[in-house]
Amino acid sequence: MFKKLDILDEKDKHLRMKSVDAEFPLSKDEKKLIQRIIDHLTYSQIEEYEKKYDLRPGMGLAFPQIGINKRIIVIVHEYEDGKFDNYVVINPKIISNSEEIIAAEAGEGCLSVNREVEGHVPRYARVTIEGYDEDGNLIQIRAREDLSIAFQHEIDHLDGILFYDRIDKNKPFYNEGEIRLI
């Protein structure tokens, strides 16, 4: 039975705290919660379920967004219509990045920010993430374009940073000559 997650709003102090490393082995509750997040994010990207359960579409969620300040992120990436890759990374770190900077042309959104925020968020076009899977095995993930943006966005949550903190107040929008918009 699907039960919608209670996602914290941007005003909640948990979202501004630096998260602590998760410890292994993960508890049964943590593993259950990871599965609930995967279900929530998957359903939110399928129109029929999005409407049925009144979900806002989202592809990523960090544990601080549900009030748990541990370094765990989940990304559900729709790589082809109706086909998803699930990424669960415990204690993630960006270990390398491209020099090229990109931004989502439409701007970024966040399941904890229930309002429209105008502006481009500069992000690396490509990143390599290192962390652990749910069983404590060391993993590396190379991400590019929208997936790279999602990883950077979720890792920011672990450090108490919201996407709009990265929008330049004096120059919120870029043109194609300044930054590649995707």
Residues annotated as part of the active site: 154
Distance from C-alpha of 117 to C-alpha of 95, rounded to nearest angstrom: 29
Tokens of 60: 């990523």
Distance from C-alpha of 65 to C-alpha of 79, rounded to nearest angstrom: 24
* CA distances from residue 157 to 16, 92, 153, 164 in whole angstroms, order as listed: 8, 11, 7, 12
Task: With H, G, I as helix, E, B as strand and everything else as coil, classify residue 158.
Answer: helix
Give phi and psi for 78, each to the nearest 5. Answer: -85, 100
Residue with tokens 């509750």: 29
Please list the residues that pair with 134 across neighbouring strands.
none
